[in-house]
Amino acid sequence: MFPSFLRNPTRVAKKPDLSESRELFVAGRTVALAIRENRRATRITLRIEPGGRGLKMTVPKGIRRGEVNDFIERHRGWLETKLARFSGETKIGAGGTIPLRGVPHRIVHTGQIRGTTEAVIEGGEPLIRISGLPEHAGRRLSTFLKKEARHDLERLVAIHTGRLGKPANGLALKDTRSRWGSCSWNGNLSFSWRIVMAPPEVIDYLAAHEVAHLKEMNHGPQFWALCKRLCPGTEAAKDWLKRHGSELHALDFD
């Protein structure tokens, strides 16, 4: 009797899954890279996570590790350019600057333990005044921005649902990094509170976008026609988010 390993001499060993996580040193800092195989992929794709917090690479099934490494090296210059935008200090605190409705505001600590966080104009300069302990500045600022975002979005959603003739079931604020908003099948709208840092016309577009989904649960031609009817500045607002959205995601309030 032949040994069992000779019974199927044509069997080929299965290639190991290339999915892995590694770190790259790019633009003066270490960035996490997640590599995932996808049997439906026909080419290598590389995506920068919102805020430059990491990289995601999708590769075809069975691709050689050398091809992946070559791809990374060929695109290192592109990565350096893109990630350089996020290589600076993103921690928010007193003395820094933060946009509110598209207008840069300098963050000022009042020196008081108790008090409210407020946006004011002093000597012609936009300021956000915060109290409490300095190490709690980020938390106080994010709480303030959430309050302002809710105020703006509730008002805009009411306007757009009134035009649409279809009410929303509810409104929630989240800190999502993969999308700016969403609309569930039962009419619940969700928004990233960070949108309040964008210009007013961009906030209005996001509200109109999600309200349009109450009628059109897709991104087809009818949806975009409705979105543009609710918000004529849709294209300009989309372009602004594409160019500057990651900068808002990169700000660290923790």
Alpha-carbon distance of 227 to 100, in angstroms, equals 24
Beta bridge partners of 48: 55
Alpha-carbon distance of 133 to 145, in angstroms, equals 18
What pLDDT is recorded for position 7? 43
Q: How confident is the model at residue 16 (pLDDT cuts 50, 70, 90)?
A: low
Residue 157 belongs to what H/E stretch?
A: helix 137-164
Apex 146 CA angle, 235 and 111, nearest 5: 125
Alpha-carbon distance of 87 to 245, in angstroms, equals 16
Alpha-carbon distance of 72 to 55, in angstroms, equals 11
Lowest pLDDT segment from 9-23, 171-185, 187-201, 236-250: 9-23
Sign of CA dihedral 113, 193, 198, 52: positive
Residue 109 lies in a domain: no
- Both 64 and 154 in one domain: the answer is no
Query: How many separate helices (H) and strands (E) can be counted in the chain?
Result: 6, 11
What pLDDT is recorded for position 241? 92
The overall pTM is greater than 0.85: no
Task: Dump pLDDT digits (tens) for 143-182.
Answer: 999 999 999 999 999 999 999 999 999 999 999 877 899 9
- Both 163 and 243 in one domain: the answer is yes
What pLDDT is recorded for position 90? 60
Highest-confidence segment of 5-14, 25-34, 46-55, 128-137: 128-137
Query: Could you tell me the end-to-end alpha-carbon distance of the chain, in angstroms, rounded to an integer?
Result: 69
pLDDT above 70 coverage of the chain, percent: 89
Q: Are 249 and 51 in contact (CB under 8 A)?
A: yes
Question: What is the distance, to the nearest Å, from the Cα of residue 91 to the centroid of all Cα atoms in its chain?
Answer: 17
What pLDDT is recorded for position 94? 73
Residue 37 lies in a domain: yes
- Both 140 and 246 in one domain: the answer is yes
Q: How many domains does the chain have?
A: 2
- Both 148 and 73 in one domain: the answer is no
- Both 146 and 244 in one domain: the answer is yes
Q: Which amino acid is at 21?
A: S
Range of the domain at 152: 136-250
Residue 176 lies in a domain: yes
- Both 239 and 159 in one domain: the answer is yes
- Both 156 and 219 in one domain: the answer is yes
Task: Dump pLDDT digits (tens) for 24-83.
Answer: 887 677 888 999 999 888 999 998 887 677 889 999 998 888 899 889 888 887 787 777
Residue 12 lies in a domain: no
Alpha-carbon distance of 37 to 204, in angstroms, equals 38
Residue 187 lies in a domain: yes
Selection from 187, 147, 148 nearest residue 171 by Cα: 187
Residue 116 has pLDDT above 60, yes or no: yes
Say which CATH number the domain at 246 has. Answer: 3.30.2010.10
Residue 74 lies in a domain: yes
What pLDDT is recorded for position 6? 40
DSSP-based three-state secondary structure for 46: strand
Question: For residue 82, how many C-alpha atoms fall within 13 Å in the half-sphere facing its CB?
Answer: 18
State which of 44, 69, 86 marks the end of a domain. Answer: 86
- Tokens in use for 106? 């300098």
Alpha-carbon distance of 233 to 228, in angstroms, equals 7
Question: What is the distance, to the nearest Å, from the Cα of residue 241 to the centroid of all Cα atoms in its chain?
Answer: 10
Q: How far from 41 is each of 32, 59, 75, 121, CA to CA, in Å?
A: 22, 6, 19, 53
- Both 146 and 226 in one domain: the answer is yes
- Both 160 and 240 in one domain: the answer is yes
Residue 184 lies in a domain: yes
Residue 3 lies in a domain: no
What pLDDT is recorded for position 29? 75
Apex 206 CA angle, 205 and 211, nearest 5: 95
Q: Which amino acid is at 15?
A: K
